[in-house]
Chains A and B, each alone.
Chain A
Amino acid sequence: MTGSDLISLLPLLIVAAGSILVMLAIAIRRMYGVTVVLTFLTLAGALIADVLVPGSGRIGVLVTTGGLSQFGIGLVLVANLVVVLLASGYLAGYVENREEYYLLLLLETLGAGFLIAAVHFVSFLLGLELLSISLYALLAYVRTSHLANEAGIKYFILTAAASAVLLFGLSLVYFDLGTMSISDVSAALTAPGTLTPLLGAGIALTVAGIAFKLGLVPFHMWVADVYEGSPLPSTATIATVSKIAVFVFLYRLFGDVVHQAAPSVRSAFVVIAVASMLGGNWLALLQRNIKRILAYSSTANFGYLLLALVAGGPGGLQAGVFYLTVYAFTILGLFAVLTLISGPGEEHVDLDDVRGFARVHPFLSASFVIMLLSLAGIPVTGGFLGKIYLFKAGVDAALWMLSAVFIAGSAIALFYYLRIVAVQVEGPEHESETGSLSGRELPARRSAGAAIAVGLLVFVVVVLGAYPAPLLSLLQTVGIG
């Protein structure tokens, strides 16, 4: 490892150093403001380093820099910067210790970043476990809430089981192929006749473990409860950071091979994608809690992203990364608005809670609506172009059935996104009763940071929909697509 290797790992090193610094600062004296600022500066510094430092390819056998790593780490850093802004206002009134939340966020970022850069089973597991363990605590951070405890424990037990399955799968793959390097495994998967029963079982278990982390059908049973129970900033981070990181890894492992791998591997992905698109959307239709709706919609959205994976090739990768980027910004915007009207233990995330939202907080409501329209894929939003790109990738790869299901799923999704939009502009259910919002004013914390974040996210989502050329050429310059 040379000096330039260290420099190209600078973003991750900054996050690691920052987490030690924050831990020491907390040990010396608990100062909420200082902790928030330190965390923010760490993430911002890492982001600057990520943008400025060019990648130098593979470093050792464990990680790679540049390209997908650089972009993915940047995305994760941006997402957690937003989460820090959200958490700073959300936790401001929390009675118990608040500082460790930010330490956990930094560790989560480090795990996600390592996972994104991983090209080896060892670094993959290291990153994944760091990410998951930080998430357990983040999800259950508001100890006073039963729901948060339930979410944390549920996620902990199920994820631990999924990690065991994943580990077993990876060890079977290693046993059969004698390598833990992802590129070797990928190469072996495309070679004809190598898919022995043992390797097949290993791959199946690995896919199951990863599908669990992404909440794909049939491993989706945890998402709604975990989304619903966890504090909003934690929901935002699990919905974006952890899923981005795991999806990037999934892409590294299978992105180059699915479209030419054995039919059984390919059809496994197709089945999971179809089940997630239809199942996720169907379950989301049945919910009345916005967090639960978004949980199942994330299942559907990662089903859509599998379309890009199965399509493969540079076009599929570019479409997937574009969609993932837009999706992350959109979801962050939605959770940012919800965070602004919520606090620990009193979250306003039911459909009835936002009835008449547009009258009380027109700007927040407008932002919320724009984000929902982006998820629904209505122009002029990034979500619309993202869907076009995914569809283009699907058609280019002649995946007619998957593309058709994708369109059908998007059409079903309109119903529940529109329901959240409609309820905001409607008056009270009956003329006599006052709506929940007009009755008891929503708090709408004056958290300047989160408000600015909402504004920026809306701006980005609209610009990505109206003029995506800059992001597309950025993706091309870092070697994606």
Chain B
Amino acid sequence: MSLFVIVVSPFIAGMVAWGLSRTTSGHGGATAGRLVMAAGLLLPGILALSLWPAVSSAAGMPIADAARGAPSYAVEAAIPWIPQLGATIHLGADGLALLMVFLTVLLGLAATVVSWKDDIQRPGFFLFNLGLILSGVLGVFLSVDLFLFFLFWELMLVPMYFLIAIWGSEKRRAAALKFFIFTQASGLVMLLAILAVYFVHGHATGTYTFDLPALINAPLSGAGATLAMIGFLVAFGVKLPVVPFHPWLPDAHTEAPTAGSILLAGLLLKTGAYGLIRFIRPLFPVPFSAISPLLMTLAVVSIIYGAVLAYRQSDFKRLVAYTSISHMGFVLLGAASGTVIGFQGAIIAMLAHGFTTSALFATAGFLKDRLHSRELSDMGGMKSVTPRLAGFGIVFWVFALGFPGSANFMGEFLVLLGTFKTSIAFSAVAASGLVLSVIYSLRAVRAAFHGPVQVDPQTPDLTFRETALVLVMAALVLWIGLFPGRFLRLTQPIAQTHHQLVVQEGGNP
């Protein structure tokens, strides 16, 4: 039951917030709406916390049905939906899903806080879209039924399109359209793949169902399996994004409002990685092992490509956007490495990237609010004018470059360690990405925060709300980075299952 509440809560909060801001005049309605939104996010957070003991104790138990890699969910709930089609509203949470729920709740709160501005137009509709996106993301993380998963997957696109197209900056229309076309077209390809899996399973067993455990227990084989897997890979590869499916990302991230950038980088990108981990590996164990080298190659290319292009950017937000391509390359590398450590590293890297990049986008938003520019050349010397803003900006850039002690370091280190077992070459090339990240991060820090003062000396520093936001984010990154054991334990079962699949199919250890 609590799983259903977790999924629908942001959506309902968004509806209420929209209603409140329409019926109440002035800023009071918008403020009330934001408070409702925050409450609608805290509720899932509390419910997810209450599920923690169950999930965490299940994580210590031996894995049921590990032979086939069927997921074992510590908490499950299902109600009938479209029996004629074999679709049920089936939600389930294991350690991985729970971590993603926490990430969603926290970044949802962050998005609410950064958009807490008086000059924002139509705040009610903004909150409504926010709630719809967050419900879609939560649904993606908790769905066990493939049809339900696809529904949530598509559900977030339209409100995200509106978020970019209405509240974005100058070139918002083109960016929103590009985002929509890329994600929707790839979504259609995934739909074909989902239906292919569904029909093959139905023809073979006589029961037509979208339920993931049933589908995993009767896997596809042959060329059909490879084709279906590619369908999933295209959709997840666009979201992730992996070169060459990335062209939508820099535009969408740059033109979106700050809250939109946070949701895009922090959550929508994670849905791609999550899909890869949750669906592709168990559904297509054999072809996935076969295609792993190609995926790892693309991951390494993304790491280097994103880092090199990030170095060339003069626009703060665009720079952060390109670093996302680089960091998500590490996630893909770990997920494709086939080792337990690489796999767990990918999950830690997802969390780290979620918090760090969102904080950097928030910083870009703070700078934009104050300077009305995103250009690095318009910043300069911020550290003497706005010490708090510059200080946190530097902290997050240092996290982003993988400073030891941060979650980013932990995630990327584990990924490299896991990859090293599979292929020393990939690991070595990917490690050079860490060096590149130092170069672009320090360049950004120097250009934006150091040097001669180029900005109005009266520029206001961070407000209380803004400081609280970045402080919490920094604390979370350090917490995960310094004490990763708890998180590694939560994700142990799914990592073990995947590793066993790799071993069984005769792939690399």
Contact = CB atoms under 8 A, between A and B. Distances in A.
Given A411-B185, A469-B81, A418 B180 contact: yes
A422 B158 CA distance: 11
B154 interface: yes
B458 interface: no
B166 interface: yes
Contacts of B162: 425
Contacts of A467: 81-82
A379 B162 CA distance: 16
B82 A469 contact: yes
Nearest to B80: A469
Contacts of B150: 379
- Most A-side CB within 10 Å, residue of B83, B158, B180: B158
State the majority secondary structure of interface residues on B. Answer: helix
A395 B199 contact: yes
Contact of A378 (B81, B85, B157, B196): B157
A16 B185 CA distance: 49
A384 B155 CA distance: 11
Given A410-B188, A414-B184, A426-B165, A373 B82 contact: no
Contacts of B195: 388, 391-392, 395
B451 to A, nearest CB: 35
B63 interface: no
A180 interface: no
A379 B155 contact: yes
A184 interface: no
Interface in A466-481: 467-469, 472-473, 476
B83 A422 contact: no
Nearest to B166: A425
B84 A422 contact: no
B181 interface: yes
B113 interface: no
A422 B155 contact: no
B490 to A, nearest CB: 30
A92 interface: no
Interface in A338-385: 362, 373, 378-380, 384-385
A380 B84 contact: no
Contacts of A391: 195
Interface residues of B, number: 30
A379 B151 contact: yes
Interface string B105-149: 000000000000000000001000000000000000000000000
Interface in B156-203: 157-158, 161-162, 165-166, 173, 176-177, 180-181, 184-185, 188, 191-192, 195-196, 199
B154 A472 contact: no
A4 to B, nearest CB: 32
A392 B85 CA distance: 10
B188 A422 contact: no
A466 to B, nearest CB: 9
Interface in A406-443: 407, 410-411, 414-415, 418, 422, 425-426
- Most B-side CB within 10 Å, residue of A379, A392, A396, A467: A379
Contacts, number: 61
B158 A373 contact: yes
A422 B177 contact: yes
A460 B304 CA distance: 50
Interface in B69-85: 80-85
B345 to A, nearest CB: 34
Contacts of A469: 80-84
Contacts of B157: 378
Interface string B187-226: 0100110011001000000000000000000000000000
A468 B82 contact: yes
A378 B82 contact: no
Given A410-B188, A414-B181, A422 B199 contact: no
Contact of B173 (A415, A426, A476): A426
A395 B191 CA distance: 13
Given A391-B195, A395-B195, A410-B188, A378 B158 contact: yes
Nearest to B172: A426
A384 B151 CA distance: 9
A473 B80 CA distance: 14
Nearest to A389: B85
A379 B154 contact: yes
B188 A378 contact: no
B7 to A, nearest CB: 13
A318 to B, nearest CB: 9
B228 to A, nearest CB: 12
Given A411-B185, A411-B188, A469-B84, A418 B151 contact: no
A425 B173 CA distance: 10
B82 A425 contact: no
A379 B136 CA distance: 11
A63 B445 CA distance: 81
Nearest to A404: B192
Contacts of A392: 85, 195, 199
A418 to B, nearest CB: 6
A426 B150 CA distance: 28
Nearest to A475: B84
B154 A422 contact: no
A388 B150 CA distance: 12
B29 to A, nearest CB: 15
A380 B155 contact: yes
Interface of B: 80-85, 125, 150-151, 154-155, 157-158, 161-162, 165-166, 173, 176-177, 180-181, 184-185, 188, 191-192, 195-196, 199
9 contacts: A379-B155, A392-B195, A392-B199, A396-B199, A415-B181, A418-B161, A426-B173, A467-B82, A469-B80
- Pairs of residues from A and B, 10 with the lowest C-beta to C-beta distance, nearest first: A379-B151, A472-B84, A379-B154, A395-B199, A425-B166, A469-B82, A411-B188, A411-B185, A414-B184, A407-B188
Given A418-B180, A426-B173, 11 more contacts: A378-B154, A378-B157, A378-B158, A379-B151, A380-B155, A384-B154, A414-B180, A414-B181, A425-B166, A467-B82, A469-B83
